[in-house]
Amino acid sequence: MAKEEKKAPKLRFNGYTNDWEQVKLGDVAEITPGGTPSKNISDYWYPKEIPWLSSGEINKEIIFSTNDMISKKGFNNSSAKWINQNSVLIALAGQGKTRGKVAINRIPLTTNQSIAGIDPSDEIYYKFLYHQLTKDYLKLRLISSGDGSRGGLNKKLLNDYAVNLSGIDEQHKIGVLLSHIDNTLQLHEDHLQFLHSFKSFLLQKMFFDNDIPPLLRFNKFTEKWNQCKLNDHTIVTMGQSPNSKNYTNNQTGKILVQGNADLYKNKILKRVFTTEVTKTAVKNDILISVRAPVGDIARNQYESVVIGRGIASIKGNDFLYYQLEKMKNNGFWNKYIAGSTFESITGKDLKNTKIYTTNSDEERKIGNIFSSLTKIIQLQEHKIDSLKKLKQFLLQNMFI
């Protein structure tokens, strides 16, 4: 006789050995869909008195405030209902990937009809339920009624939805642990956003901006910067695409960099290879996309790559690299592509582009600060990726 499979997750806190119980969500929680007052009656929307959440806001994940509010009169003349603080909100419908997403409300609020509030009983800890439904996102989308992307969840489907429960103490530990990871992730993402903003600020202040000299300079550097054409300062090579019959998936061929799709986070992606060598770029060359979207850049980290007609290579130091990044961020290339049906710039336009130079010591210092900041950003992104992988591992292994 086959041994009965234990109804418990693979990963548990010490001291918990009991089986989990499967129950219907409607037996352990009150599910409350929302409603929308008539948009044609201004008294239903003014004065702004009651927080009212729309489905797009579910992506906030933790709700401290809403983008809109309704009046008490609007509340009394619609199917909108109050949802208690620390309920789990679920998108019944919504554009794109919204349906099936969940959030926690930190304030009492009302919602539109595309959201339901799930108010858990004493048998289920709200953070535990939130993370279990987060794990079940794809399953929730599959059970949605309707056809394809237009399907929707409803109160009956949610009432009948099976959830797995442990004892309340274990639920609490799981919910708190995963919420702590969420909080840590948010702190790291906030710091990453700050780093990007700080880098953008320095790019604006440490390079020329519309013929305005840099506002921030290192001590002892006072001489004027020089303006010149890119082609007069360095070597620019426009790409040339090999014959498509020579493309290959065999990595013994040369890496082919065709355009923007082959540039990612300042590096080259190995996607396509070629046995035909046309124009090449060597290690540390700057690669710039000359077709839609124009101006994206990367450093070539390989000894040699073939560049197609969507790419140009530029010999240059970090000072030039980050000057080109700043130009892209500021929409510099838009003037060349305005009104074009196909977004691109010519070799002549690129070679005649005006850039600024200064003495080698100042260029080195400016290049170093941006290179260091870019590495810090990359490390921060790696931390965030690692935390996301950890959370996904725990979601898959701490629930049934």
CATH number among 3.20.190.10, 1.10.287.1120, 3.40.462.20, 3.40.50.1820, domain 168-218+358-400: 1.10.287.1120
| Nearest to 311, CA basis, from 290, 296, 292 | 290
Which pairing describes strands 50-53 and 226-229: parallel, antiparallel, or unpaired? unpaired
Q: Give the DSSP H/E element, type plus range, for residue 120.
A: strand 115-120
The structure tokens listed for 206 are: 């440490």
Q: In sequence order, what DSSP letters do the residues of 57-79 get, joined into one string?
A: GGGGSEES--SEEE-HHHHHTSS
Average pLDDT of the residues in 253-265:
95
Helices (H) and strands (E) in the chain, counts: 11, 23
Q: Is the pLDDT of residue 132 over 70?
A: yes
Q: Provide the whole-model pTM.
A: 0.90
Average pLDDT of the residues in 340-346:
82
Q: Is the pLDDT of residue 338 over 70?
A: no
Neighbours of 358 (CB within 10 A): 17
Q: Is the pLDDT of residue 148 over 90?
A: no
Let me know if the fold of 21-165 is the same as that of 226-357.
yes
CATH number among 3.40.50.300, 3.90.220.20, 1.20.1290.10, 1.10.3720.10, domain 21-165: 3.90.220.20
Neighbours of 266 (CB within 10 A): 16
Average pLDDT in the chain: 95
pLDDT bracket for residue 145 (50, 70, 90)? low
Whole-angstrom distance, CA of residue 225 vs CA of residue 363: 10
pLDDT of residue 287: 99
φ and ψ of 339, to 5 deg: 85, -5
Q: Is the pLDDT of residue 4 over 80?
A: no
The structure tokens listed for 320 are: 């030039």
CATH number among 3.90.220.20, 3.40.50.150, 3.40.630.30, 3.20.20.80, domain 226-357: 3.90.220.20
Which of the 8 DSSP states describes residue 340?
A: -
What does the domain layout of the chain look like in residue ranges?
21-165, 168-218+358-400, 226-357
Please write the tens of the pLDDT for every residue from 177-208. 999 999 999 999 999 999 999 999 999 999 99
pLDDT of residue 1: 41
Average pLDDT of the residues in 224-246:
98
Average pLDDT of the residues in 222-245:
97
Angle between helix axes 168-206 and 360-397 (nearest 10 degrees) is 160
pLDDT of residue 118: 99
